[in-house]
Amino acid sequence: MKTCASVKNVCKLFSLIFSMITFLYVVYIVVVEKTYLPGGPFMLPLLRSKELKTLCSSNWTGETIVHLKNSRTYVIGAYLDLRSRSLIRVIGITYRYEQEPLFCDFCFHGTNETVPAEIEIHSDHFQFPYGTTDLLCNLKDSRIPQYIYLHAANYPSNIVFKVHNIEQMHNPPSRFEYDFLLCISALFGSYNNVLQFIQSMEMYRMLGVQKVILYHTDSSSILKQLLTYYIKQNFLELIPWPITTYINVSSGWHYPEHPGDLHYYGQTAALNDCIYRNMYRSKYIALNDIDELILPARHKNWNELVDYLQHSNPDASVFIFENHVFPVTFVNQSKPDPEEWKSVPGVNIIRHDHREPNDPSEVNPTKLILNPRDVVRTSVHTPLDFSGQEYRVPRKIAQLCHYRQPKKKEITDDMLIEDYILSPFENALVERVNSVVGQLELLKLEQTENLLPVAV
Ligand SMILES: *[C@@H]1O[C@H](CO)[C@@H](O)[C@H](O)[C@H]1NC(C)=O
Ligand SMILES: *[C@@H]1O[C@H](CO)[C@@H](O)[C@H](O)[C@H]1NC(C)=O
Ligand SMILES: *[C@@H]1O[C@H](CO)[C@@H](O)[C@H](O)[C@H]1NC(C)=O
Ligand SMILES: *[C@@H]1O[C@H](CO)[C@@H](O)[C@H](O)[C@H]1NC(C)=O
C-alpha cells in the first residue's frame, strides 16, 4: 500500500513538474521571445522556436548597404516605428525617376505575410537621380517580426533584415547611455587631414560628446590607424559605408553642376540611419562634419549649453546652429604650430581665427543638435519631419565653426572678421593633441607616410 501511494505521489509530482515546465516554456516563448506560431501556443512544444529563429535570421548579412535584386533600391536598415502608426521603417536609397513596386515579407516563423512597401522618397535629393528613401512596411496587427524580407515583385529575396529598436520602442530607457552622440557622415577618398581630425575629436570630447559614429567609405592609411586609436579608446564607432561600390556618387552637393548619381556619398541616408540606429542610446544626437565644431560662446561645454537652451525652450526638439566659415588660407602668424605637430599632416584650426562675413540673404548651411526620438526624417542642414519645435540658436550663444577652404572667393583678408570663440579651449586642446600625437609616435604610426598630400 505504502509503495503504491508513494508511486502515485511521484507521478503527481512529475506531472506537476511537467506542467510547470510547459507553462514556463509557453510564457517564455510568448512573453520573452515574442514569437507566435500558427495554431496558437499549443503548437509550440512541437516547434522549437530557436530553430525557427535561426531559419529567419540565417540569411541576415549584417552588411550596411544591401542591393535588392532586380531593383534600383539599396537597403540600409530596418527600424520599428510605433510613433505615429505601426510600421517598420526601412531606410534606403532608390532611383527617383522610376519606381518599381517593392514588398515586405514579415518573418513570422512559419507564416508568410506580405505587404507592399510604401515608398516615400525624401524631399532633399538635391536633384540627383538617386535619393534617400523610406520604405514603410505597415504592420497589420500587434505582432512584430524580428526579421523581414524585402524584395521586388516576383522576385522573392533570400536576404533578411533584422528589425531594430523593438525592445526600446516598447520600453524606452529612462536614462540613456550617452548625453551627446555625434554622427559624422562619409569620410572618403584618401582623406589625410590628420591634425584637424585629432583636433576635432579632442574638441568633441571636451565639449561633452561621449561617442562619435563615423560612416567610413575610405581614408588614408595614417588616418585609418588614427581611427583604430579612437576605436580602442572607446570613443569612436565606424560604420562601414561602401556606397561607392554600388552607386556613382557625387562629391558635390547639387546636380548637375556636380556630376554623379547620388548627393555627396549618400550623406542624408547615413545621417538618417545614424539617428535611428542610436535613437535610444543617446539623449541628444549632433549632426556635423569632421571639419566643423559647434562652439558655445558663453558656456563651458554642450551639457551647459544644451541645458540652458532646453530650459529656455522646453518644446524644442531640434537646435539649429549657424555656419561660419573660418578660411584656412588666413593664418594668424603669431600662433605657430607647436614643434611636436610639425610632422603631423593637416590643418591646425587654432591658427585660423578669422571668419568670413555671412550674407543674410543667402541660405546658411546650418547644423543640428536634436532629440532623435522626436525626429522622423532629417536633411543635412535642417530637419525634414519631426515633432516639437526647432530653435535657431543666436550667434551670441553658440555657432558652428567650419574650418575649410574659403567659401567666398571674392572676400579679401581685410574683410574677414576676427573671432576668438575657440580661445578659451586652446590651451587644453594643445595639451590633448600633444598627448595623442605623443602616443601615435610611440606607436610609430606616421614615419614614411606623413609625406602624403593633405586633403582638406
Ligand atoms: C510570401 O508570399 C508571396 C505571395 O503570397 C510570395 O510572392 C513570396 O515569395 C513569399 N515570401 C517568402 C519569403 O516565402
Ligand atoms: C538563404 O539563402 C540561401 C542561398 O541564397 C537559400 O537557399 C535559402 O533558402 C535561404 N534561407 C532562407 C531562410 O531564406
Ligand atoms: C557609373 O558610371 C560609369 C561611367 O559613366 C558607368 O559605366 C557605370 O555603369 C556607372 N555605374 C553605376 C553603378 O551606375
Ligand atoms: C593672433 O592671435 C593673437 C593671440 O591670440 C591675438 O592677440 C591677435 O590679435 C591675433 N592676430 C590677428 C592678426 O588677429
CA distance 266 to 92: 10
Q: Which atom of ligand 1 is nearest to the CA of 156?
A: 9
Mean pLDDT across 424-451: 78
Q: Based on the structure, what is the number of domains in the chain?
A: 2
Answer yes or no: is 280 within a domain. yes
Look up residue 414 and give its three cell numbers.
581685410
> In percent, how much of the chain has pLDDT > 90?
72
| pLDDT tens track for 353-397 | 999 999 999 999 999 999 999 999 999 999 999 999 999 999 999
334 lines ligand 2 (CB under 6 A): no
Mean pLDDT across 401-423: 95
Q: Are residues 204 and 161 in the same domain?
A: no
- The better pLDDT of the pair 122, 4 is held by 122
Q: Are residues 163 and 202 in the same domain?
A: no
Range of the domain at 153: 53-170
Cα of 340 from ligand 2 centre, angstroms = 55
pLDDT at 451 over 50: no
Handedness of CA 385, 391, 395, 400 (dihedral sign): negative
| pLDDT tens track for 162-219 | 999 999 998 999 999 999 999 999 899 888 999 999 999 999 999 999 999 999 999 9
Q: Are residues 405 and 272 in the same domain?
A: yes
Mean pLDDT across 74-98: 97
Q: Are residues 148 and 225 in the same domain?
A: no
Q: Are residues 242 and 158 in the same domain?
A: no
Cα of 153 from ligand 1 centre, angstroms = 10
Cα of 331 from ligand 3 centre, angstroms = 41
Q: Are residues 294 and 420 in the same domain?
A: yes
Look up residue 374 and give its three cell numbers.
522626436
Q: Are residues 188 and 325 in the same domain?
A: yes
Buried residues in 82-119 as b, exposed as e (16+ CB within 10 A): eeeebbbbbbbbbbbeeeeebbbbbbbbeeeeebebeb
For all residues of the chain together, what is the average pLDDT? 88
In the chain, the N- to C-terminal Cα span, in Å, equals 93
| pLDDT tens track for 11-57 | 788 888 888 887 787 666 555 544 443 333 444 433 444 444 556 76
Answer yes or no: is 10 within a domain. no
Q: What is the pLDDT of residue 184?
A: 97
Answer yes or no: is 454 within a domain. no
Q: Are residues 270 and 302 in the same domain?
A: yes
CB-defined site of ligand 4, < 6 Å: 332, 334-335, 418
Q: Are residues 93 and 218 in the same domain?
A: no
Q: Torsion over CA of 322, 355, 200 and 63, rounded to 10 degrees?
A: 50
Mean pLDDT across 56-62: 75
* Length in residues, the chain: 456
Q: What is the pLDDT of residue 82?
A: 96
Give the domain CATH number at 88.
Answer: 2.60.40
Answer yes or no: is 380 within a domain. yes
Considering every ligand atom, which ligand is closest to the CA of 414? Answer: 4
The DSSP letter of residue 154 is T
110: confidence class by pLDDT, cuts 50, 70, 90: low
Cα of 246 from ligand 3 centre, angstroms = 9
CA distance 388 to 319: 11
Interhelix angle for 221-232 vs 194-207, to 10°? 20
Answer yes or no: is 12 within a domain. no
Take atom 13 of ligand 2 and give the residue whose Cα is closest: 55
pTM score of the predicted model: 0.85
Give the domain CATH number at 261.
Answer: 3.90.550
Q: Are residues 182 and 321 in the same domain?
A: yes
Pairing of strands 147-152, 160-164: antiparallel
Q: Are residues 184 and 251 in the same domain?
A: yes
| pLDDT tens track for 186-202 | 899 888 999 999 999 99
Answer yes or no: is 424 within a domain. yes
Q: Which of 170, 197, 222 is the last residue of a domain?
A: 170
Q: Which of 117, 145, 170 is the last residue of a domain?
A: 170
Q: Which residue of 68, 112, 140, 155 sits with most ligand 1 atoms within 8 Å of its CB, as the best mutation to test the pocket?
A: 112
Q: Which residues pair with 77 in a beta bridge?
A: 91
Answer yes or no: is 192 within a domain. yes
Q: Are residues 85 and 207 in the same domain?
A: no
